[in-house]
Structures are given as structure tokens and as C-alpha cells.
Amino acid sequence: MKKVISSIVLVIFSLVLIVNCGGGEKKAPATKKEVKKETKMVADLANGEKIFNKVCVACHLTGVAGAPAVTDKKRWEENAAKGFDALYKSVLNGVPKGKYGVMPPRGTCNDCSDKDLFDAVHYILKRAGVTAK
């Protein structure tokens, strides 16, 4: 019975990753100037939670492929120490080779707006109990 449940969970998780990995119109990476402009927005944590549950959860719930799990406060403190602008820019542009792994551009959510991703970063930091400088 455990094997059946494990197989079902694996199939569901794989489908979530596949759905979140493709499609949508590719958006150009944000420039430094655009990041500064975007961070003047006010975070909508309800939208951030929605985006987290739609996309980010695939890697950040448990820490898949080196991603910091949302419960890993130490890793989020390390990320937050770089400042919100740097963290947000990493989400928009991706991190091809980081200390712990990779972050795909836009977290693979090509249909997410910059504001959606801004909200998701704020939501994750709040859920992790961390404040970015």
C-alpha cells in the first residue's frame, strides 16, 4: 500500500513540475532599472500565496534540487541578507549556477506577471519568517 501511495504522490508531483515548466510567452529579463521600479510596488500577500501554491510550491515546499524549503529559515535569512532587490532579480532572471543549485528564470512561470512574482517573493519571505533588507 505504501508503494502505491508513494507512486501516486510521485506522479502528481511530476505532473505539477511538467505543467509549470513550459508554455507561455517568454518575457525579457528585467534590467536593474526595471527591478528598482518594480520594487516600489506594494505586495499583495494573498496573490503571493496563490502564485506560491501554483508554481513555487513544486520546489520550495520541500527544497527540491537545492531550492530553499519555505521552512528553512536559515537559508531564507541568507537569501534575504542580499536584499530584496537582489532576491527579486534572481527570481526574474534566474540563477544558472548558484551555491546550492539553480533557479530557473521566473521560476518557470512564464505566464506570471512581474507583480505576481514580486508578491510570491514577499509571501515566501513572510512564511519563512524572514525580512529582506
CA-closest candidate to residue 75, choices 4, 130, 19: 130
Task: Determine whether domain 2-128 maps to CATH 3.30.70.20.
Answer: no
CA dist 71 and 53 (Å) reads 15
Q: Is the pLDDT of residue 110 over 60?
A: yes
Taking residues 101-124, what's their average pLDDT? 96
CA-closest candidate to residue 64, choices 107, 23, 93: 107
Other beta carbons within 10 angstroms of residue 119's beta carbon come to: 24
In this structure, are residues 48 and 117 in contact, taking their beta carbons and an 8 Å threshold? Answer: no
Considering the entire predicted model, what is its pTM? 0.71
Predicted confidence (pLDDT) per residue in 37-63, tens digit: 445 789 999 999 999 999 999 999 999
Per-residue pLDDT at 87: 94
Q: Is the pLDDT of residue 95 over 50?
A: yes
In this structure, are residues 91 and 106 in contact, taking their beta carbons and an 8 Å threshold? Answer: yes
Domain extents in the chain: 2-128
